[in-house]
Amino acid sequence: MATKKKQVKSAVKKAATKGMKAVKQSAPAKGVKYVYWFGAGKAEGRADDKNLLGGKGANLAEMCRIGLPVPAGFTISTECCVEYLKHGGKYPKTLEAEVKAALAKTEKVMGMKFGDAENPLLVSCRSGARRSMPGMMETVLNVGLCSKTIPGLIKKTNNPRFVYDAYRRLIMMYSDVVMEKAEGIEPAEGKGIRKQLDDMLHEVKKQKGYASDTDLTVEDLQKLVVDFKAHVKEVLGKEFPDDPMEQLWGGIGAVFKSWNGKRAVAYRRIEGIPDDWGTAVNVQAMVFGNMGDTSATGVAFSRNPATGDHHFYGEWLVNAQGEDVVAGIRTPNPLNEATKNEQNKHLPSLETSMPQVYKQLDAIQKKLEKHYKDMQDIEFTIQEGRLWMLQCRVGKRTGVAALNMAMDMLHEKLIDAKTAVMRVAPVQLDEMLHPILDPAAEKNAKVIAKGLPAGPGGAVGHIVFTAADAVEWAKQGKDVILVREETNPEDVEGMRAAKGILTGRGGMTSHAALVARGWGKCCIVGCAALHIDVHGKKLRIDGTEYEEGAVLSLNGSKGHVYAGALDTVDATENPRFQEFMKIVDKFRTMGVRTNADTPEDARVARAFGAEGIGLFRTEHMFYGKGSDEPLAKLRKMILSKTVEERKAALNELFPFVKRDVKATMEAMDGLPVTFRLLDPPLHEFVPQSESKQAELAAELGIPVEDVKKRGEALHETNPMMGHRGVRLGITYPEVSAMQFRAILEAAAELIKEGKKALPEIMIPVTCCVKELDAQKKIFDQVYADVLAASGLKKIPVLYGTMIEIPRAALTADEMARTAEFFSFGTNDLTQMGFGFSRDDIGGFMGEYLDKNILPADPFQTIDQRGIGELIKIGVQRGRMTRPNLKVGICGEHGGEPESVKFCFTVGMNYVSCSPYRVPIARLAAAQAAIEAQSKKK
Ligand code: ADP
Ligand code: MG
Ligand code: MG
């Protein structure tokens, strides 16, 4: 590694000091073409060549092909970059000749000569990867300006101010990109050469009392470039190169190397872009927006990227170059009258300032949209009244904009229904299902703490520190944010009452996260910057204290915390959402169910389009509102000493279970409902504190000692892998029998009432078929009893199991002998497959991701390589035994788009997810079907 770096360094050093002659060349790779020319209505590349030419190069070529005014130039391929970096900074041997030829062609078309004293051509060296990595790599403008070409350009343009302005920009960019970054020099934060030169420029402006860069005179600039060059020499120890060719090769190499720049590498990690793609270099004739009042530069979108409004939208600056618009040096002007806003309404639009050019630009953006059939993000420059196009690409957009544009374009017949469905990323739907913080307000606010984005949307409220306070404050009509170190089941009331939840600990599948997501509630977990003082009812973040009642704003989709109240916007009022989802369902083949534990949840989920319940957790009735009575019965059952006592307690519990089960099936009106038998370890239900134990003892009329003893007896070292799930049913068959009876009797009653019921009974935490067989015996007996008692001939019911232990997946062929359906419980399957406790991953998962040991948190998206393999095996072996085996998933992954697509490819019948994720899963499933179709073709 170290030697490689050295090689790169020395190669560049030589190139930079002696020009092309000394550029190192690797062995010739015969027949490989590295350079692709474009200009004057022709191009060797095209839009499809993104992999080879990068997005920018491919689109520059395409714009030439369709006759748009693009300054001529050429693209050096990403393959060349890969070669260059692989050989420690050596160019392929054939490159020099190809570059020379392409440069000559460019000179001819532009009518200028690179390095010429009379009529010099200047060029830019622009980066451009396959996928857009905005601002992550480098670009150098005005390459070719030097003592030889400056006088000629001044004479030709009769504009010395422009020439010196261009030259000072070259020195600033080149010294930064080529002489510092590409050399691997890492100055301290804020001490880079560009910053130093910037400071010098500001100093001059301050001394002279100028407000804007455009106030600098020729004399100021002339002096500045001399000072700049002296400063560069002093800081970097090298002369600023005065040879155009040397500048050009320096620029090319530096752009290649910017692929491995710190920012670019970090961005690739986040976006999952492979390291071996490389960037292309676009060498392009310069056009100038800084030649005076008839010159300008700007960026624009063919439609509004924030809202999707069908209005040409953008910003521009007169007498400016390149990055000035986005750099925020001056407030940019609005493009047209229709899209003026509060900040720029007093500034002139391009539409009124240069009506002819505006018309031409407007026609071009329309042509581009028609050609690419998508919203375009464009860069343009106007040189003395003449328009030039410098870039186009498909524009990034918010979720709301994505949906609006897809539907607009469908109605405009620009795209077909299939394309419209593919145009919205499933996660973008989140924005439409919850109120969100106003993005404009967020832009101006400071993030005071960051955590994991556990529950979507935005929330604004007064902070409180206990669940009881949350309930109390909410009762008084206040919006609250519940702040906890971490949450537990006893907090659910408070969590329900709060607008948002903020915790100091916990991961994406911690209790708070699961519950919040289930409700579609804004939630941030694992926010390490919080110092919570529950007793003092205050919170400290970064030295600032927030007392109870202080207002915070949360962005649960990003994990950002703000002080004070930010505006929120309700995005649900988009009438197009329903229309869009209808189209989505036309393409979907896999079912989408929901995880719901109450009749209310079931109703919400049905409104979102759920086609059944994939997971009903029986134990839910023992938490939260209305749980007092059933919980008391359950505790009585747990504390029973004999089978008779237990059976009596179960009989008391029975009506509560049956009531919930029946109401839920009724709400689902004939759609399948998967009931999971009691899953958690029993000790979770025995109170731990002495006072609570005493209370319970009094309630049950037994000595407190008994309660204590039972609690101790139930205590387990590792309850997650302890006496839970089917193991309870094996040791206490009567517990299973009670649940079977509740479900079957409820179904029988509904049927007799003329309603529909379709229960599916799911046995959790199984690892071998004999467990299933043992429970099935009990089930068959209860089934026969219920039939006899009800007089019905049959009750439609399926008997199946959750597959959440690796052994169950591996022995799926046996499991399917008894199970009529499988539902993959991927939370536990991931936990046991990895050996990662899902409640304790907070301690190391961050580093695993930072160090690229795992590509993603496997609790958020299915680990397809490992856990996915278990799932595949499970499905295949299961269907070997029972070809029509119904297979679904009920883990948190069922609502995560990539995982949903995976479930489709392994042939699942349905996915099941929390109610608010149902639309997301529907869209992901439709996209998976469309993708599979187009692959087949
Ligand atoms: P980025 O990928 O960061 O957008 P670009 O390569 O697009 O970088 O260049 C940065 C800025 O310089 C852009 O505003 C672009 O329009 C401008 N620019 C690039 N090449 C030229 C050129 N040949 N003539 C005029 N302006 C240019
Ligand atoms: Mg650009
Ligand atoms: Mg489980």
Q: Provide the sign of the torsion angle of the four alpha carbons 217, 218, 220, 224, taken in this order.
A: positive
Confidence check: pLDDT of 77 > 90: yes
Give per-residue burial for 724-739: e unless 16+ CB within 10 Å, then b: bbbbbbeebbbbbbbb
Please, what is the angle between helix 50-65 and helix 78-86, to 10°? Answer: 150
Q: Whose CA is nearest to atom 23 of ligand 1?
A: 286
Greatest mean pLDDT range, 262-271, 683-692, 920-929: 920-929
Q: Whose CA is nearest to atom 22 of ligand 1?
A: 286
Measured between alpha carbons, how far is 508 from 859 in angstroms, rounded to an integer? 7
Query: 555 C-alpha to center of ligand 3: Å?
Result: 30
Q: At 16, is the pLDDT very low, low, confident or very high (cuts 50, 70, 90)?
A: very low
Tell me 428's DSSP state.
Answer: G
Q: Judge whether 524 and 556 are in contact, CB under 8 Å.
A: yes
Q: Judge whether 557 and 897 are in contact, CB under 8 Å.
A: no
pLDDT, one tens digit per residue, over 530-540 is 999 999 999 99
- Residue type, position 829, single letter: L
**Helix/strand/coil (H, E, C) string of 580-606?**
HHHHHHHHCCCEEEEECCCHHHHHHHH
Q: Judge whether 58 and 134 are in contact, CB under 8 Å.
A: no
User: Computed over its alpha carbons, how large is the radius of gyration of the chain?
Assistant: 33
Q: What is the mean pLDDT of the chain?
A: 90
Tell me 464's DSSP state.
Answer: E
Confidence check: pLDDT of 9 > 70: no
Pocket probe mutation, ligand 1, options 176, 382, 390, max atoms within 8 Å of Cβ: 390
pLDDT of residue 271: 73
Residue 146 is among the residues annotated as catalytic for this protein: no
Q: How many CB atoms lie within 10 A of CB 754?
A: 6
User: What's the token pair of residue 266?
Assistant: 């970090």
User: What's the token pair of residue 327?
Assistant: 């750099």
pLDDT of residue 15: 40
Ligand 1 pocket, residue 390 CB under 6 Å: yes
User: What's the token pair of residue 743?
Assistant: 């479900």
Lowest mean pLDDT of 76-85, 102-111, 332-341, 781-790, name the range: 332-341
pLDDT, one tens digit per residue, over 460-478 is 999 999 999 999 999 899 9
Given the residues 434, 511, 683, 893, select the one marked as catalytic.
511
Q: Judge whether 561 and 580 are in contact, CB under 8 Å.
A: no
Q: At 25, is the pLDDT very low, low, confident or very high (cuts 50, 70, 90)?
A: low
Q: Which residues face 799 on adjacent strands? A: 761
Strands 447-450 and 560-563: antiparallel
Lowest mean pLDDT of 509-523, 582-596, 871-885, 909-923, name the range: 509-523
Measured between alpha carbons, how far is 889 from 614 in angstroms, rounded to an integer? 8
Query: 125 C-alpha to center of ligand 2: Å?
Result: 12
Q: Residue 165, CB half-sphere, CA atoms under 13 Å: how many?
A: 20
pTM of the model: 0.80
- Average pLDDT rounded to a whole number, residues 366-370: 98
pLDDT of residue 774: 98
Measured between alpha carbons, how far is 23 from 243 in angstroms, rounded to an integer? 14
Ligand nearest to the CA of 39: 1
Which atom of ligand 1 is nearest the CA belonging to 287?
A: 24
Tell me if residue 916 falls in helix, strand or coil.
helix
- Average pLDDT rounded to a whole number, residues 872-900: 96
Pocket probe mutation, ligand 1, options 141, 287, 321, max atoms within 8 Å of Cβ: 141
Q: At 6, is the pLDDT very low, low, confident or very high (cuts 50, 70, 90)?
A: very low
Q: Whose CA is nearest to atom 26 of ligand 1?
A: 322
Q: At 736, is the pLDDT very low, low, confident or very high (cuts 50, 70, 90)?
A: very high
Q: Which residues face 801 on adjacent strands? A: 763, 822
Ligand 1 pocket, residue 159 CB under 6 Å: no
Confidence check: pLDDT of 18 > 60: no
Query: 772 C-alpha to center of ligand 3: Å?
Result: 16
Ligand nearest to the CA of 298: 1
Q: Judge whether 284 and 122 are in contact, CB under 8 Å.
A: no
- Average pLDDT rounded to a whole number, residues 767-780: 98
Tell me if residue 144 falls in helix, strand or coil.
coil
Please, what is the angle between helix 78-86 and helix 244-258, to 10°? Answer: 90
Pocket probe mutation, ligand 1, options 323, 377, 388, max atoms within 8 Å of Cβ: 323
How far CA 930 is from CA of 208, 419, 428, 838, in Å, comes to: 63, 9, 18, 34
Ligand 1 pocket, residue 284 CB under 6 Å: yes
Confidence check: pLDDT of 529 > 50: yes
Residue 511 is among the residues annotated as catalytic for this protein: yes
Q: How many CB atoms lie within 10 A of CB 484?
A: 27
Q: Residue 241, CB half-sphere, CA atoms under 13 Å: how many?
A: 27
Can you point out the beta strands (E) in 442-570? Answer: 447-450, 452-455, 458-464, 480-484, 500-503, 522-525, 530-533, 538-541, 544-547, 551-555, 560-563, 568-570
Q: Whose CA is nearest to atom 27 of ligand 1?
A: 322
pLDDT of residue 14: 39
Lowest mean pLDDT of 483-492, 571-580, 796-805, name the range: 571-580
Q: At 651, is the pLDDT very low, low, confident or very high (cuts 50, 70, 90)?
A: very high
Ligand 1 pocket, residue 322 CB under 6 Å: yes
